């Protein structure tokens, strides 16, 4: 699966570039690049760089993802979960390609609820990534990397099992909120509260769990 996820990561990067090349002639000189919490465009950029910045960043990240396993120190290697590592890399690049596609579509065609579509993409990414967090082993690049998880393998594994459940739950609840007849600001705040809550909950659990094991003399 490692080679498949790597190939799909390359494909996502190429697709983002291909979309830019295909739609570039249809773009105005200034294209929307940022939307506020109300879903209104509040930032524009020149198409000469806005159309190609994201594919360039994705290509740079792809090179970084290739380099990180080699940079990993002993006992913190990525090899122990390489397939999961590349799945997570693929999810990140997919989200970036998706955001880029939303920007291009909005600039070339319009008539798209960009903010809601973006929130749905973010939730889906966190839900899919959360589903595999329990397979991530101790490393310096991916996962809930706190002083307490890095210091103890048991704390790392237990924290990631909890984080997996929290992020999947946040994604499911967030998608549920999005189908409710709520104003966009309320939806945006709810979604980000759920994601941030899952992240903070995982960090706090790692600290509490480590200290509990420390008191018991199990560390």
pLDDT tens-digit map of 146-161 = 999 999 999 999 999 9
Q: What is residue 44's three-state secondary structure?
A: strand
Mean of the per-residue pLDDT values of the chain: 93
pLDDT tens-digit map of 3-23 = 999 999 999 999 999 999 999
User: Given pLDDT bands bounded at 50, 70 and 90, which one contains residue 75?
Assistant: confident
Instruction: Provide the whole-model pTM.
Output: 0.92
> What angle, rounded to 10 degrees, do the helices at 2-23 and 47-71 form?
170
Instruction: Please determine, for residue 1, whether its predicted confidence score (pLDDT) is greater than 90.
Output: no
Q: Which of 78, 59, 56, 93 is nearest to 2 (CA)?
A: 78
What integer is the mean pLDDT of 77-84?
Answer: 93
pLDDT tens-digit map of 94-148 = 999 999 999 998 888 776 788 899 999 999 999 999 999 999 999 999 999 999 9
What integer is the mean pLDDT of 43-50?
Answer: 85
- Tell me what pLDDT residue 111 has: 63
Q: What is the DSSP track for 54-107?
A: HHHHHHHHHHHHHHHHHHPPTTS-SGGGHHHHHHHHHHHHHHHHHHHHHHHHHH
- Tell me what pLDDT residue 105 has: 87
Range from 40-49, 167-176, 199-208 carrying the lowest mean pLDDT? 40-49
């Amino acid at each position: 699966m490692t080679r498949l996820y790597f190939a799909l990561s390359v494909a996502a990067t190429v697709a983002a570039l291909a979309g830019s090349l295909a739609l570039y002639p249809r773009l105005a000189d200034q294209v929307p690049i940022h939307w506020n919490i109300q879903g209104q465009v509040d930032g524009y950029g020149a198409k000469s760089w806005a159309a190609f910045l994201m594919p360039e960043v994705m290509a740079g990240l792809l090179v970084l993802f290739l380099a990180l396993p080699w940079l990993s120190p002993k006992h913190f290697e990525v090899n122990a979960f390489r397939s999961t590592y590349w799945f997570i890399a693929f999810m990140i690049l997919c989200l970036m390609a998706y955001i880029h596609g939303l920007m291009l579509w909005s600039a070339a065609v319009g008539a798209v609820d960009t903010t809601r579509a973006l929130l749905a993409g973010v939730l889906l990414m966190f839900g899919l990534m959360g589903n595999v967090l329990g397979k991530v082993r101790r490393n310096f690049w991916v996962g809930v990397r706190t002083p307490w998880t890095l210091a103890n393998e048991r704390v790392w594994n237990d924290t990631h099992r909890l984080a997996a459940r929290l992020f999947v739950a946040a994604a499911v609840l967030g998608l549920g909120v999005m189908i409710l007849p709520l104003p966009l600001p309320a939806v945006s705040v709810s979604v980000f509260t759920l994601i941030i809550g899952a992240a903070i909950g995982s960090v706090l659990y790692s600290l509490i769990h480590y200290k509990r094991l420390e008191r018991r003399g199990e560390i």
